[in-house]
């Protein structure tokens, strides 16, 4: 069946893009986000720690009941994006100093198209209505996309923000990137980017090794983990390199723990 609008992403690509809502308070906004997803051909909705337990019953999800029914609910953002190779946070720079690259919304589509074309899985993350994504939330993101708004009213309604972002993705994807492509085979020179969950696992083992080596006091562990999370996403190691580094630090940790036991 041909697409109603040829600018929309084909299913083999739109099926690898998640819309993630972090701690939304109003079920009507969740429904509006689901409706926007249906408008532009996206099906994968993830809701992290929603405030209202009955959010799947939102009446604002006109024409999008399946998006709500199939939505994944997670306790944490880390869990929601663990399978993703590119995580994009959304927001305004009015009240924050970003620690990751910032991309304007019109330039986001080519980056996402490239990731989908090579077989990756993308998450576009939206924060709570009141304050948006926190510094901790953004540490899981490879980049921050800024929605251009007037400085006198920088914030947007959650449902509107989702609609604007998905419209940009649908309308700016070229004919070439819309053409379904098979993921590139993983070779010695071409490796898939590590998923967010693998990077979290690596960060945890590196942190354990740092603690065992007495690198920093316990009071700095949270800050170190935050910095490690950002660093690994900036480096964007391949899945193969991530496994190699993980094995290296596990060996270092084993040696440190063994030396500590033998010193008693």
What does pLDDT average to in each consecutive run of 10 residues of the chain (264 residues)? Answer: 62 88 94 93 94 87 87 96 96 80 90 89 93 92 89 85 91 53 46 89 92 82 88 93 95 87 63
CB neighbours (10 Å) of residue 38? 18
Q: What is the pLDDT of residues 116-165, one digit of tens each?
A: 888 899 999 999 988 889 999 999 999 999 888 877 887 788 999 999 99
- CA-based end-to-end distance of the chain: 71
Domain spans in the chain, listed from the N-terminal domain onward: 11-178, 196-262
Superfamily of domain 11-178: SPOUT methyltransferase, trefoil knot domain (3.40.1280.10)
CB neighbours (10 Å) of residue 192? 17
Q: Alpha-carbon distance 108 to 106, whole Å?
A: 6
The pTM of the full predicted model, rounded to 2 decimals, is: 0.86
pLDDT of 186: 47
pLDDT of 152: 81
Residue whose entry in the numeric block shows the structure tokens 């609910």:
73
């Amino acid at each position: 069946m041909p697409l109603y609008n040829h600018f929309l992403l084909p299913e083999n690509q739109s099926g690898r893009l998640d819309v993630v809502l972090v701690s939304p308070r109003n079920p009507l906004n969740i429904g509006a986000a689901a409706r926007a997803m249906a408008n532009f051909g996206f099906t994968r909705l993830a809701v992290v720690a929603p405030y209202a337990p009955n959010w799947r019953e939102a009446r604002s999800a006109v024409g999008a009941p399946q998006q709500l029914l199939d939505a994944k609910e997670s306790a944490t953002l880390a869990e929601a994006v663990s399978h993703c190779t590119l995580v994009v946070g959304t927001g305004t720079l009015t009240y924050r100093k970003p620690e990751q690259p910032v991309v304007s919304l019109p330039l986001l589509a080519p980056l996402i198209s490239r990731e989908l074309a090579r077989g990756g899985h993308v998450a576009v993350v939206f924060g709570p209505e009141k304050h948006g994504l926190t510094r901790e939330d953004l540490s899981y993101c490879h980049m921050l996309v800024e929605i251009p708004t007037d400085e006198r009213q920088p914030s947007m309604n959650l449902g509107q923000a989702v609609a604007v972002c998905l419209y940009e993705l649908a309308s700016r994807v070229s004919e070439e990137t819309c053409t379904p492509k098979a993921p590139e085979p993983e070779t010695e020179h071409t490796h898939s980017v590590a998923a967010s969950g693998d990077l979290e696992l690596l960060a945890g083992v590196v942190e354990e090794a740092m603690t065992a080596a007495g690198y920093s006091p316990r009071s700095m562990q949270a800050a170190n983990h935050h910095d490690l999370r950002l660093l690994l996403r900036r480096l964007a190691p391949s899945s193969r390199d991530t496994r190699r580094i993980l094995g290296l630090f596990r060996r270092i940790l084993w040696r440190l723990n063994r030396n500590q036991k033998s010193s008693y």
